[in-house]
Amino acid sequence: MLMRTDPFRELDRLAQQLVGPGTWSRPSAMPMDAYRDGDEYLVTLDIPGVTADAIDIDVERNMLTVRAERRPVAKSEDVQMELSERPLGVFSRQIMLADTLDTERIQADYDAGVLTLRIPIAERAKPRKISIGLATGSKEISG
C-alpha cells in the first residue's frame, strides 16, 4: 500500500473529484508555455500519459484548438486500485493566434508527454527594408 502525507495533494484530489474529469463538453485545462524563437513561435503543452492518436489539433481562422484525451489503462479483474491521482478525461486549450502568424505551416511534435507546436511568422509580417527612389524630374542635391 502507498502512503502519503501531503495535505494539499489531498485537497487537490478532492477538488478534482468534485469537479470530475474533463469531458468533451467541459474539458480540463492543460499547462502551456509560449515563446518566440527567431522567426517562429513555439507553444509547448504538457499532456503526459496521452497517446499521439488521442490528440486533436485544428485551426479555424485564428483560433488554434488542442484537445487530448487521457484514457484509462486496461486492468485485469484482480487489480485493486490503491491510489489514483492521475486525472483521466478530456483536456483542451484554445489559443487566439495573431494575423502575423502563418497558420498554414504549423508543425506539431509529441515527445515524452510534451506537445510542441511551431508556428512560423508570416512572410508579410517580417520586417523588411524599403528603398527610397527619386521622383522623376527631381534634381539631385550636391553638397
The candidate with the shortest Cα–Cα distance to 47, out of 67, 24, 76, is 67
Are 48 and 30 within 8 A, CB to CB?
no
Q: How confident is the model at residue 137 (pLDDT cuts 50, 70, 90)?
A: low
For residues 138-142, average pLDDT? 58
Which amino acid type is present at position 34?
A: A
In the numeric block, the cell 553638397 is attached to: 143
Cα 140 to Cα 117: distance, rounded to the nearest angstrom = 52
Mean pLDDT of the chain: 80
3-state SS assignment for residue 97: coil
Q: Spell out the domain ranges in the chain.
A: 31-73+86-123
Q: What cell does 127 get?
A: 520586417
Strands (E), the chain: 32-37, 40-46, 55-60, 63-70, 89-96, 107-111, 114-120
Residue 58: phi, psi to the nearest 5?
-145, 160
Cα 22 to Cα 88: distance, rounded to the nearest angstrom = 7
For residues 94-123, average pLDDT? 93
CATH-assigned architecture of domain 31-73+86-123 = Sandwich (2.60)
Q: How confident is the model at residue 4 (pLDDT cuts 50, 70, 90)?
A: very low
In the numeric block, the cell 550636391 is attached to: 142
pTM above threshold 0.85: no
pLDDT (tens digit per residue) in 55-108: 999 999 889 999 999 888 777 888 888 887 777 888 888 999 988 899 999 999
pLDDT reading at 3 higher than 50: no
Higher confidence at residue 129 or residue 95?
A: 95
Cα 123 to Cα 57: distance, rounded to the nearest angstrom = 23
Provide the 8-state DSSP code for 22.
Answer: B
